Amino acid sequence: MTRPAARALRLFLLLAAVAAPALPAAAQSCQPALQPPAILVAGELSMAINPTLPPQQFIDEKGQLQGLNFELGSEVARKLCLTPKFIRMDFPAMIPGLGAGRFDIINTGLFWTEERSKTMFLVPYALQAISIVVMEKNPLGLKSIDDLAGRSVSVETNTYTERKTKELSDALVAKGLKPITIRGFNTATESFSALKAGQVDAGMNLDETAIDLVRRGGVVRIANGLGGSQITFAFKSKPLAEAFAKALGETKADGFYDKVFDKFGMTRLTEATFAIRGPGPAQ
């Protein structure tokens, strides 16, 4: 090889070495934390969600799923090295669907109850209470729970909100007042639409949902912070529930949990760790 050719070759090799991208010393792969039967499909975490409760879960103007539950579920799936899959459905179908093995998790803010804790594995992750919402002009002058005596109120059916409204109605009757006429709807959105259409006198909604409704305009809150209970992710598989709770703790430790709760204005749990609450179903 001539000297000019040798110099050209050395120059080419030098430039190639400078331009080549730096490679990691050792490639690292994310290994799924769980396999079937702890999850239904290898490499996937399927979550049932009803996107009708902003800011917990909702569809934006582009038709994309958004909200605290969506972001938190996606982040936990990432930490478990699983691909999140969200299945949109109305709430009444969720508990039977979980029992039938149609998906891995109910990700919709399921209120904790002792009865539920015996049929599913429940992992609390936030706190919620209830607001009373009326139209902005409030033509009936409703100002308190007592003012709901004999009035019609919309609620999302088969929820903590409905149960709490029944308790409030019973308390009114115990005071010698008329009961609340409770009208149930499949979703919180339908419940709110009934109020706007004048089909009911007031609506009962989760505090966070009510805040979002007020922000959009046309309604005001006359009471809030009623009741109050932990909301949970629900599981059929105990190993999945335990792994999910551990990953939730990791989101708390790295700051993601607090960041997303601040973003959506929801009430976080103060615990640094998360765990199954209640006995769960008999194994």
What would the pLDDT profile of 13-41 be if each residue is shown by its tens digit? 343 333 333 333 333 478 999 999 999 99
Distance, in Å, from the CA atom of 7 to the CA atom of 73, rounded to the nearest integer, reads: 58
Domain range 44-127+230-268, its CATH number among 3.40.190.10, 3.90.550.10, 3.40.50.10680, 2.130.10.10: 3.40.190.10
Entry pTM: 0.75
User: The dihedral of CA 37, 236, 122, 119: what is its sign?
Assistant: negative
CB atoms within 10 A of CB 202: 23
Query: Would you say residue 80 has pLDDT above 60?
Result: yes
Q: In Å, how far are 99, 116, 235, 256 from 96, measured between CA atoms? A: 5, 12, 12, 31
pLDDT of residue 108: 93
Instruction: Tell me whether the CATH fold assigned to 44-127+230-268 matches the one assigned to 129-228.
Output: yes
Q: Which residue type sits at 212?
A: D
Res. 175: pLDDT tops 80:
yes
Q: What pLDDT score does 220 carry?
A: 96
Mean of pLDDT values over 102-125: 96
Instruction: Render pLDDT for 60-77 as a digit per residue (tens, 0 to 9).
Output: 999 999 999 999 999 999
The average pLDDT across 98-106 equals 98
Residue 148: is its pLDDT beyond 90?
yes
What pLDDT band is residue 9 in, cutting at 50, 70 and 90? very low
- Of the pLDDT bands very low, low, confident and very high (cuts 50, 70, 90), residue 244 is very high
Which positions ≥6 away from 193 have C-beta within 8 Å? none
CATH entry, 129-228, from 3.40.190.10, 3.40.1440.10, 1.10.260.40, 3.40.50.2300: 3.40.190.10
Q: Can you give the residue ranges of every domain in the chain? A: 44-127+230-268, 129-228
pLDDT of residue 65: 97
Give the pair of three-digit tokens for residue 107: 């990700």
In this prediction, residues 141-151 reach a mean pLDDT of 96
